[in-house]
């Protein structure tokens, strides 16, 4: 499979001109790490959401949605559900689940499932379990989208946000707010991601680098095969 149902039109996407500006100014944006769009430039979060939103095919489940369920509410115009185990600001009881080992949805409920910059924060022993749940709740022909930064970039970003929060009194670092568990990591290598996606049953994996982040961040898109397709 090289595609699926036509991608739905996200509620918010960067223009071509904005992408050019973001590409040129990436070093500045990466080092200052502003949390919201400023000075006509996109935050790294906006940029990440933009790349993922272009891959969403319909009703979306955003796993580990974080503060204010922003991806679903702002980038998808409410077309989906966000869930999390931690009560971040802006989340309600509808977003919170006791455990992500079992998603509270019937089989084949969504066209897309997203893990945005957070599969590394799923405890190591539960990563296969969560990806299997993502596969279960996806409709046939649906896709999973997950993002992961380059290891060196992830280490640098985590150190910078902790420094800024400590020195400037900001609250950018959600990992410090929630706390890092023993089985969490700052990044995952591509080889592990590909292996776990395959074990969960996903096929036709495609990797896409974030051009406006100079290739230091990327996403994987993989598919749940249609019933009519024969195994490879």
- For the segment 42-57, the average pLDDT, to the nearest whole number, is 96
Q: Give alpha helix (H) positions in 57-202.
A: 70, 127-137, 151-168, 174-178, 190-200
Average pLDDT, the chain: 88
Instruction: Report pLDDT for 176.
Output: 60
Instruction: Report pLDDT for 33.
Output: 67
- For the segment 103-127, the average pLDDT, to the nearest whole number, is 96
Instruction: Report pLDDT for 50.
Output: 97
pLDDT exceeds cutoff 60 at 184: yes
pLDDT exceeds cutoff 90 at 22: yes
- For the segment 202-222, the average pLDDT, to the nearest whole number, is 97
Query: Which comes out higher in pLDDT, residue 195 or 29?
Result: 195
pLDDT exceeds cutoff 50 at 230: no
% pLDDT > 90, the chain: 72
pLDDT exceeds cutoff 60 at 125: yes
pLDDT exceeds cutoff 60 at 217: yes
Query: Which comes out higher in pLDDT, residue 161 or 87?
Result: 87
> Greatest CA separation found in the chain?
57
Coil, helix or strand for 27? helix
pLDDT tens digits along 54-83: 999 999 999 999 999 999 999 999 999 999
Query: Which comes out higher in pLDDT, residue 6 or 97?
Result: 97
What are the residues whose beta carbons fall under 8 Å from the beta carbon of 65, sequence distance 6 or more?
71, 72, 82, 83, 84, 91, 95
Question: 207: part of which helix (H) or strand (E)?
Answer: strand 203-209
Question: 36: part of which helix (H) or strand (E)?
Answer: none
* Total Cβ atoms within 10 A of residue 106: 8
Length of the chain: 232
Coil, helix or strand for 201? coil
Domains of the chain: 18-223 (3.40.50.150)
Instruction: Report pLDDT for 163.
Output: 63
């Amino acid at each position: 499979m090289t595609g699926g149902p036509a991608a739905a039109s996200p509620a918010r996407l960067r223009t071509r001109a904005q992408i050019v500006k973001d590409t040129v100014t990436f070093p500045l944006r990466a080092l200052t790490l502003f949390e919201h769009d400023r000075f006509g430039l996109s935050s790294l979060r906006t940029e990440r959401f933009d790349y993922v939103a272009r891959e969403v095919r319909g009703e979306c489940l955003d796993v580990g949605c974080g503060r204010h369920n922003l991806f679903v509410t702002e980038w998808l115009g409410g077309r989906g559900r966000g869930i999390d185990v931690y009560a971040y600001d802006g989340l309600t009881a509808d977003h919170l689940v006791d455990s992500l080992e079992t998603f509270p949805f019937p089989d084949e409920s969504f066209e897309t499932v997203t893990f945005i910059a957070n599969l590394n924060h799923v405890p190591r022993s539960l990563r296969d379990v969560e990806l299997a749940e993502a596969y279960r709740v996806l409709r046939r022909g649906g896709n999973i989208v997950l993002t992961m930064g380059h290891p060196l970039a992830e280490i640098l970003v985590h150190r910078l946000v902790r420094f800024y929060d400590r020195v400037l009194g900001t609250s950018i670092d959600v990992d410090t707010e929630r706390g890092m568990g023993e089985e969490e990591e700052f990044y995952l290598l591509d080889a592990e991601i590909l292996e776990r996606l395959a074990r969960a049953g996903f096929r036709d994996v495609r990797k896409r680098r974030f051009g406006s982040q100079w290739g230091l961040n990327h996403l994987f898109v993989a598919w749940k095969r249609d019933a009519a397709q024969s195994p490879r």
